[in-house]
Amino acid sequence: MNVSQLCPDDLLLAARQGSLNPRDEARLDFHLARCGRCRAALDVGRAFDLDLQAQTFDDAIATRIAAAITRRPRRKWPIYAFAAGALFGGSVAVAAVAPHLKGYWERTRELFESNAASDANSGEHAGVKHGAETKPVTSEPLLPAPSITSNVDAPAIASAELAAASAHSPSRSANVSEGGARALFSEANGLRSHGDASAARACYLELQARYPDSSEARVSLVSLGRLELSLEPKTALAHFDAYLRRADHGTLAEEALFGRASALQRLGRTREERGTWQQLLDQFPSSIYRQRATSRLSMTQ
């Protein structure tokens, strides 16, 4: 039996907690002098004990997460509730499309009649079916295209990237086209939490382009910023700025300021970073990011 088979794991934990009696301390010292494994484990364990002490605002985070989680069971609606919702949505869609369809049929009929009259007059197309002649009508849009350019803040990024993003998932946009801002936002969050960053990104951009004035689009600026932060800090910064322009005292202003400062840190724009950390501290004196903000402010002096 070698020394490693007798590693006193319980003594190692007691040493980290500072609860060793002198006898056990002597036993542990004797063991550590011979066992590199336990020496390494003890040093690393102590390094984590220093780092993982509870932070000041953990309580606030816990309360927020608990509230978010206990809201989720509302999703477990019975299937007939979804069916009723779908039916209602379908009715609304038909009501919205009906006037356009009416116009379409009227235009088709007029063209048909004018072509028929023209055929009757000239006799040049006597052998051609009317279906072929009415073809140009279908090239006109039946419904007005969604106005991407009406987006106000984020849209320079959103509309420019939407085309590229939709190329990633052409079928997905069809699936959610009737779902509205909330459905898009939920889908994007789901994709993000499952690690599908590119699809989540496409979804957020689509949300911002289609429903620029919705609260979901506003919140998605922060989500998208956090998603981009690691790879494209410049783009992330634009998203955080867009959120802060729209809602500098919004619910997520604290998160947006934190994201903005992190993005500026990655871009090496220290002066602006310091300004943002200071703004975060001024605006949210009890922020959960206070420790990080003060630390960065002192490090970048």
- Which residues here bind other proteins, judged by CB under 8 A? 1, 4, 7, 9-10, 13, 16-17, 36-41, 43-52, 54-55, 58, 61-63, 65-70, 72-73, 193, 195, 197, 226, 229-231, 262, 266, 292, 295
Nearer to other proteins, 44 or 94 (CB): 44
Nearer to other proteins, 1 or 174 (CB): 1
CB of 262 to other proteins, least distance (A): 7
The alpha carbon of 146 is separated from its chain's Cα centroid by a whole number of angstroms, namely 22
- Residue 183 contacts residue 89 (beta carbons within 8 Å): no
User: Cα separation of 223 and 158, whole Å?
Assistant: 13
Q: Helix, strand, or coil here: 140?
A: coil
How many Cα neighbours within 13 Å face the side chain of 16?
A: 18
CB of 49 to other proteins, least distance (A): 7
Nearer to other proteins, 108 or 286 (CB): 286
CB pairs under 8 A, 24+ apart, for 237-243? 237/263, 237/264, 237/267, 238/154, 238/156, 238/157, 239/154, 239/157, 242/153, 242/154, 242/157, 243/218
CB of 69 to other proteins, least distance (A): 5
Nearer to other proteins, 47 or 92 (CB): 47
Query: Tokens 């004018």 appear where?
Result: 114
CB of 193 to other proteins, least distance (A): 6
User: Cα separation of 240 and 226, whole Å?
Assistant: 9
Query: Tokens 């500098």 appear where?
Result: 248
CB of 105 to other proteins, least distance (A): 50
Nearer to other proteins, 68 or 120 (CB): 68
